[in-house]
Structure 1
Amino acid sequence: MAEQTMKITAADGVHARPATALVQVAGKYQSDVNIEYNGKSVNMKSIMGVMSLGIPNGAEVTFKAEGSDETEAVEAVIAKAKEEGLGE
């Protein structure tokens, strides 16, 4: 299992536009990709799941993947999150 934690620094937190971009990236991978926040874990290939977490500015989230391309999946999601200005 590959995982990486990120602090959300975007003023609006994880809202619809960047969440959609992250879901699109996660969908390109075979691995199961999840995001964890506040004790809950959801499938990153589901926009409704990601939005249901209501991730605010200042939150610590963990991206996890398990499968044949898990490392690449986590790296790609983190890269997209940074590109979207969600965190560092």
Structure 2
Amino acid sequence: MAQRTVVVASASGLHARPAKLFVQAAVRTGVAVTIRAGERAVPAKSMLGVLSLGVVQGTEVTLEADGPGADEALDALAALLARDLDAEEALDA
């Protein structure tokens, strides 16, 4: 099983817009990805699941996937979480 560990950079953690962008990206990969924070793990394609983790800025999360395309999917999702998506939203406004 492929894994990536990343520190969430968004100022609001995985809430609201950053969570939405992460879930949308996870769906687009076509790979079953799990996101783990502490002892809890949820499917990355589940908005409610991701929100339920209560991830704040600076939290270390682990992404896991298996099968074809897993490494590429995890690389892309880890890179997304490592960016401050809240700051990017301010730039777009």
The residue that corresponds to 2:47 in the other structure is 47
Alignment of 1:6-85 (within 5 A): 6-83=6-83, 85=84
Q: What is the aligned-residue RMSD (CA, Å)? A: 1.5
Deviates further, 60-69 or 46-55: 60-69
TM-score using structure 1 length: 0.85
Mapped partners of 2:9, 2:24: distance in 1: 21
The percentage of counterpart residues that share the same residue type is: 40
Aligned-residue offset at 1:60: 1.1
Any gaps of 5 or more consecutive residues in structure 2? 86-93
For the residue of structure 1 that corresponds to 2:55, the secondary structure is coil
Counterpart residue identity of residue 37, structure 1: A
Which one has a bigger Cα radius of gyration? Answer: 2
Q: Which 5+ residue runs of structure 1 have no aligned equivalent?
A: none
